[in-house]
Amino acid sequence: MMALYLSGWQHFADFTTRANRAQYWLFTLVNSAFGWILMGLGHGFVVVAYLWLFVLIIPNIAIQVRRLHDINRSGWWILIVLVPIVGSIVLLVFDLLPGVSPNRYDEPVI
């Protein structure tokens, strides 16, 4: 499991390959849990928590795009979150779908 999480960081700015469901969800849940823990530690850690969220902007976008590639969709589908409520639900459903292999985005990273 650690290899899946670390592969998310190794490809933190890769918008061209694929990320399977396990890699996407492990990366997302671990980073979210770490952020919530930092926020829960008190006022002294709020700045650190916001810095953590800032550091995660590019890696989160990249892994979401790679997850979309795994289901054979363009990374531009990430913009569907701009549609209030419905967009987030559609993206969540996309994140839950199994990967399509082979597809136009090559083989999965792991």
Kindly give, in sequence order, each residue whose CB lies less than 8 Å from that of residue 16, ignoring residues fewer than 6 positions away: 69, 105
Exposed / middle / buried, residue 19 (Cβ in 10 Å: 0-12, 13-18, 19+): buried
Higher pLDDT, 103 or 66: 66
pLDDT band at 94 (very low <50, low <70, confident <90, very high): very high
CA 108 from chain centre, in angstroms, equals 15
Mean pLDDT on 7-20? 90
- The rounded mean pLDDT for the chain is 91
Residue 48 φ then ψ, to 5°:
-65, -40
pTM: 0.89
Q: Which of 58, 56, 63 is nearest to 16 (CA)?
A: 63
* Residue 102 near residue 31, CB atoms below 8 Å: no
pLDDT band at 96 (very low <50, low <70, confident <90, very high): very high
pLDDT band at 110 (very low <50, low <70, confident <90, very high): low
Q: Which of 55, 37, 57, 33 is nearest to 46 (CA)?
A: 37
The pLDDT value recorded for residue 44 is: 82
The pLDDT value recorded for residue 109 is: 58
